[in-house]
Structure 1
Amino acid sequence: MPWKGDEIKNQLIICSREERWKSKISRNLKTNFSARINCPTRIYVHILKDVGLWTIFKVVLNYSHPCCPDRVEILKQYRELSIFVRRTIETNEEAGIKPNKTYQSFVAAASSHWDLSFIEKNVRNYITREVRNVSEQDDAKEFGKYLLRMKEKNQNFLFELNLEGDHSIKNAFWADARSKAACKYFGDVVSFDTTYNTNRYNLVFSSFVGVNHHGQLTLLGCALVKNEDIQSFKWLFECWLRCLGRNEPKGIIIDQCASMQRAIEMCMLTTIHQWCI
């Protein structure tokens, strides 16, 4: 395989206990052991340009800790939760027992952290991904109920939902009383940002932001958008203008998105839009 200039030329293989883990938690209060102790062991490899083969050119085996091949299951790729552990986690979660207490019960039964094939983070991840996993439609219903509760607490809380046929969220907009008041005074020039993305349903989080008289950023509204197309942005801009009951802003700053630009031209006829740097 001939070597190419844009391919990886060097690789560094380090020990899993390389560097020093910095934590604000007292050592006596930690439930997870610290594995990183500045181990200098490493292997340097690079590719031969002519033949395209990897070769080892330097090896450092100065371990700063005892090597324990029998503890390999502690490495991330070897950690696992047995069926018994999973059932216990599910039972404790249903009973309202906190994840750290659940993990401590496993530690107490095994007599040591080192006698477990997982750490507390694996317990928390299992609870988040499996035990508390609900459907997208259920999440949409709960989100709608939450917005209604906020509306009941304060009638100046504003929101609009746009649901798809299966009742999942397509678009959502909300703004509290403070955002509504701030928009009245600081909504002449607005920055609209869509550079945030949720991990679970790929709904893009969008925010309307202004600047107050102290030079501080102030939130003027929030939204979740499923598709970054003209119709979605048009729906969102119309909701923002309608809910906050104000005229179009004098200027709006956006990123270089053609769909966003076209939606602004359709909804804000007198607004000057500029691209951010």
Structure 2
Amino acid sequence: MFVHCTIETHKEAGIRPSKTYQSFVAAADSHREVGFIEKYVRNHITREVRNISEKDNAKEFGKYLVRMKEKNQNFFFELNLEGDHCIKHAFWANARSRAAFDYFRDVVSFDTTYNTNRYNLVLGSFVGVNHHGKSTLLGCALMKNEDIQLFKWLFECWLRCMGGKAPKGILTNQCALIQRAIELCMPTTIRRN
């Protein structure tokens, strides 16, 4: 704890990591007695900066969604943070996506095969097909994990966004949890895998 506090105090004072490490060496009388190398000091600083940055990023993402809603009242979003610093789950759809669903809602694909590397979040997307046979995005979600309660929340949120109208069919990546969430939220929807 002393080492962490010293590193953080030195960082705030603008002392370089190499000088901070040298202060530990001087206090211990040798490199061998310190018990860690200079890279540990640098890694600790980097880790702390990344944690602060990720907390700020979640707040900034929330602010961005609010700004989008202010620009266009048809923009829809729901965001849930854990402890005000990381995303638990989020869903958003712009006005164009919501309008497209009214025209192209026969069959919708929902896919969660993508993960974000930096924040370790699952990316989910709702996609339809327009009258030209081209994919059209109908909404996106970020999720901390994949469980039945989260998928249930997501599909209920998506239904609210789309005015309570369910598609005739949903194509999924064959996850049993997704299938169960669809059954709970849209019992009359045909489910296709």
Q: TM-score range by the shorter chain?
A: 0.7 to 0.9
Unaligned runs of 5+ in 2: 1-15, 19-45
Matched, 1:247 2:165: yes
Aligned residue identity for 2:99: A
Give the CA RMSD over aligned residues.
Answer: 2.2
Paired letter, 1:163: L
> How far apart are residue 135 of structure 1 and its match?
3.8
Query: Once the 2 structures are TM-superposed, how far is the Cα of residue 160 of structure 1 from its aligned partner?
Result: 0.3
Aligned-partner residue type, residue 115 of structure 2: N
Aligned to 1:226: 144
Q: Which amino acid aligns with 1:220?
A: L
Higher relative contact order (CA 8 A, sep 6+): 2
- Measured in 1, the distance between the counterparts of 2:164 and 2:137 equals 16
Q: Report the Cα offset of residue 255 of structure 1.
A: 1.1
* Amino acid paired to 1:247: K
The answer to whether the Cα contact below 8 Å between 1:156 and 1:177 also exists between their aligned partners in 2 is yes
Match of 1:140 among 39, 55, 58: 58
Separation of aligned partners in 1, 2:84 and 2:127:
32
- 3-state SS of the aligned residue for 1:143? helix
Q: Structure 2 length normalisation: TM-score?
A: 0.72
Contact 1:184-1:246 within 8 A present in 2 as well: no
Contact persistence 2:78–2:91 (CA under 8 A): yes
Residue identity over aligned pairs, in percent, reads: 73
Displacement, 1:136? 2.9
Which one-letter code corresponds to 1:157 in the other structure? F
The answer (yes or no) to whether the contact 2:59–2:84 under 8 Å persists in 1 is no
Give the Å deviation of 1:132. 7.1
Rounded Cα–Cα distance in structure 2 between residues aligned with 1:262 and 1:153: 36
**Would you say how many aligned residue pairs link Structure 1 and Structure 2?**
151
Name the structure 2 match of 1:187: 105
Q: TM-score, normalised by structure 1?
A: 0.51
Residues in 1 aligned to 2:139 and 2:95: alpha-carbon distance in whole angstroms = 10
Task: List gaps (5 residues or longer) in structure 1.
Answer: 1-81, 85-128
